[in-house]
Structure 1
Amino acid sequence: MPAPLRCPTCSAPLDLPPEHATMARCPYCGATALLTERGGSVHAAARHDPHADAIAEVLRQLRAGSKIGAIKEYRERFGVGLAEAKRAVERIEAGQPAGSIPPASPSNTKAALGCAIFILLAVLVAGVRLMRPRPQTPAPAVQTTPATPMPPSPVAEKAGPPAFAEEVMRFGSEGTGAGRFEDARSVAVDGAGRIYVAEYTGGRVQVFDSAGAFVTQWMADTRMPLLDLEADREGTVYVVQHGRIRRYEGATGRALGEVRRAGGASYDDVALALDGTLWTVSMHQVSHLAADGRVLRTINTREAIDEDAAPVRLAVAGSGDVYVMDRWTGEIYHLDPDGRFRDRFGGRAKPGAGGGMGGMAAPQGLAVDGKGRVYVSDMMGGIHVFDADGRPVDSFGSDLNPFGITFNGADHVFATNRNDHQVVRYRLTR
């Protein structure tokens, strides 16, 4: 199979060009690539023009974590105003085309210095305003929310009391290009901050940096639905397809082999524990596996929990406690580190009753934060939060249709907003 055609500037996949075409434009970064034919295959080479060089430098700044640097670079390279440069960089950061880009103009040292001074002054003024003590005055009849700093991504702030979680980033849109999704259901984050997003069908796994900028993509099994993926701290990605768990090198997609299946088990989900072991679910069974696939413990859920218990999703807390979602009722079963059943909570709300605290309409995914709290994604009602003993705590993201959810090491929760073809990142505020 010929290698996919990639943009030489940002490595995004390029659409197959028409016959005899000599150039192609990247839908992600907007750079123009020269097309050549060698050995019967079409290759894309960098066209060394000011536009390609400028976009490459903007992408370099974003991947280095400097959004201000990227905006400054865009202003200097294309001779546009601050607002227009900010909009273009935010589109690139979100995995969308930059939009209409003016012809590149020569750099103007004074203008660049003025831009840098303006941005620096804006940051300093904002910091002074936040640190300045407010005079003590009697409370008004109607309370107002104190001003808060601008969040790290262009998300509009909402008035009202502080939420349980604050949205700080979202990226993606509908489509098949770089940074676009058709049916993204699974998300994982490794120890380096790389974000992996997988489509339910087609086997496509896209890789993004910690700022949500597209890095590359690779393919798992293209024929079978992809039920789940997890990533460990070293960057190994575990993919659940066709009852099997396969390992891949996350940064490249290189296959690393399959987790051994004991007794021909057919796996529906996998969760990674902090000690490197795996927990899996299959029909009426929860299994604890060593890293090489050896079975450490098997729990028959019909015997340990309930005759009708049918596990489909699970998550593992840092304490070793395991939380398992039931396929039919949406209830969460709490198992202790030794696999003993402790309690059950949550579940689908009765028809017409609505979601509310603890009641879910269409539970889909499970995750546990660093404090042992349990998060359940609800396709019809955002993300519900329970304490370690199953008591409802709060909910957030009511505007989402979340499917897969996961955490990084900094207590940021990531969710696939499936119907809007996006990935959303939240920072916990308490």
Structure 2
Amino acid sequence: MPTTLRCPACSAPLDAPSQHAATSRCPYCGVGVLLSERNQGTQAATNDPHADTIAEVVRILQSGHMIQAVKLYRERFGVGLKDAKDAVDRISAGQPAGTVPHRSGGKGLGIGCAVMILLVVVGALMIWRSPRAAEETTTPPATRESRDPVGAVAPGPSAPPALGDEVLRFGSEGTGAGRFTDARGVAVDGAGRIYVAEYQGGRVQVFDSAGTFVTQWMADPKMPLVDLEADRGGTVYVVQYGRIRRYEGATGTLLSELPRPERMTSYSDVALALDGTMWAVAGTSRIAHLGRDGSVRRTIDLRQAVGEDASPERVAVAGTGDVYVLDRWSDEVYHLAPDGRFVDRFGGSGEGPESTPSPEGIAIDGRGRVLVSDLGRGIRVFDAAGHYVGEFGGQEVVFGLAVNDRDEVFAAYRNRHQVVKFRLKP
């Protein structure tokens, strides 16, 4: 009996190929599939660079995390929120992902169709240029244009002076010591140790203050690692699968898991306050103030606080106790007083320097300035009241941010597979 061909990306059944067909397209996730005759039967494989993303989206959907799936699709394909949500909705419903808009705003071919055309024209997908290949140009790093697939915004002729000076850069692509494949989380403790986390696989590498590899340890290898924080004593907080776990940073020994007192509470981000308490994104609309032991002191419904639909994604807390929240729908930063009262909002969509159309990370420096990493636009800096004051980091794709007591900023350059350290200017 002939076996059913299944998509290598999402495991959906493929339509029976026509005789001698060399390629096909998955009607479920849309990736291009290569067909070959082996062991008296047809086998399916894929070189589609989108296949891993589609497979990851499917896995996240199967675990019940629709918002995380939308966020991943948006990040990987560089599309807007609505396009990403529509595509994930179609995948969830068992339909093709559909078209992917280009950054210029025009509609492009479906992912699978584009791959099929490339296969016919050139016979392979090797012409797809990887981020690493872009790194191997001879253009000096200081002036080189970003090759990130989500695009970049060129600075205007009157771009303000950079507010941060680069003082250290380390890392390269790979799986060995000091090498990264998808590093998005970065943290630093009071001893100067730097922790860098991969999004998938649970791998956390430890470096000294000079960026020299020291050791590595593993968190949960099965779930995406969505946030990484470290306190001054060297305890590392890891957020995975809705849970916050504490590890001994130097060894990776699991110390504890913070309780989740409410049955449906799922944590997706955490920030450490100077008094040892924590603020965390809890569920789809709330942020929670946690005690040192993880007990919930109070929760704030962001929708009620700002008076409209809102969904927190990242949170940071200043030395004053003021809380700043990145909203995943509006791409704005909401400023809350220590008591949870809404104060103001800033950032959001647009092309101006004060905009944050694709925010990913947020941190607060010792002067109370708010740092926001914006995909393809480096790091934006706002004062405590939300006024734009400058930027640094170039046209880069920056994910995780961490700031130490000396106003040194550590940024995870995901596409370059590097961590870059900046010294902030007054």
Smaller-chain TM-score bracket: 0.5 to 0.7
1:413 aligns with 2:409: yes
SS of the residue corresponding to residue 384 of structure 1 reads: strand
In the alignment, is the contact (CA less than 8 A) between 1:155 and 1:167 conserved in 2?
Answer: no
Match of 2:194 in 1: 195
Q: What per-residue deviation string (whole Å, max 9, x for no partner) do you get for residues 196-225 of structure 1?
A: 000000000000000000000000000000
In the aligned structure 2, how far is the partner of 1:290 from the partner of 1:214?
33
SS of the residue corresponding to residue 367 of structure 1 reads: strand
Shift of 1:297: 1.1
Shift of 1:302: 1.6
Match of 1:295 in 2: 296
SS of the residue corresponding to residue 262 of structure 2 reads: helix
In the alignment, is the contact (CA less than 8 A) between 1:361 and 1:381 conserved in 2?
Answer: no
Q: Which amino acid aligns with 2:166?
A: E
Match of 1:304 in 2: 305
In the alignment, is the contact (CA less than 8 A) between 1:188 and 1:196 conserved in 2?
Answer: yes
Q: What per-residue deviation string (whole Å, max 9, x for no partner) do you get for residues 343-389 of structure 1?
A: 1111122xxxx3x3211231100000000000000111000000001
Match of 2:235 in 1: 236
In the aligned structure 2, how far is the partner of 1:311 from the partner of 1:156?
34
TM-score (norm 1): 0.61
In the alignment, is the contact (CA less than 8 A) between 1:155 and 1:168 conserved in 2?
Answer: no
Name which of 384, 392, 400 aligns with 1:388.
384
In the aligned structure 2, how far is the partner of 1:342 from the partner of 1:225?
33
Shift of 1:409: 1.3
Q: Which amino acid aligns with 1:225?
A: P
Match of 2:423 in 1: 427
Q: Which amino acid aligns with 1:207?
A: V
In the aligned structure 2, how far is the partner of 1:227 from the partner of 1:163?
29
SS of the residue corresponding to residue 163 of structure 1 reads: coil
In the aligned structure 2, how far is the partner of 1:364 from the partner of 1:325?
8
Q: Which amino acid aligns with 1:339?
A: G
Q: Which amino acid aligns with 1:320?
A: G
Q: Which amino acid aligns with 1:294?
A: S
Shift of 1:330: 1.1
Q: Which amino acid aligns with 2:234?
A: G
Shift of 1:155: 8.9
Shift of 1:335: 0.6
Match of 1:340 in 2: 341
Consecutive unaligned residues in structure 2, runs of 5 or more? 1-139, 145-158
1:2-17 maps to which residues of 2 (within 5 A)? Answer: none
In the aligned structure 1, how far is the partner of 2:143 from the partner of 2:267?
42
TM-score (norm 2): 0.62
Shift of 1:163: 2.9
Q: Which amino acid aligns with 2:199?
A: Y
In the aligned structure 1, how far is the partner of 2:219 from the partner of 2:199?
11
Match of 1:318 in 2: 319
Shift of 1:328: 1.4
Give 1 or 2 for the bigger CA radius of gyration.
1
1:11-410 maps to which residues of 2 (within 5 A)? Answer: 163-264=162-263, 265-282=265-282, 283-349=284-350, 354=351, 356-410=352-406
Q: Which amino acid aligns with 1:369?
A: D
For the aligned residue pairs, the C-alpha RMSD in angstroms reads 1.9
SS of the residue corresponding to residue 420 of structure 1 reads: coil
Q: Which amino acid aligns with 1:190?
A: D
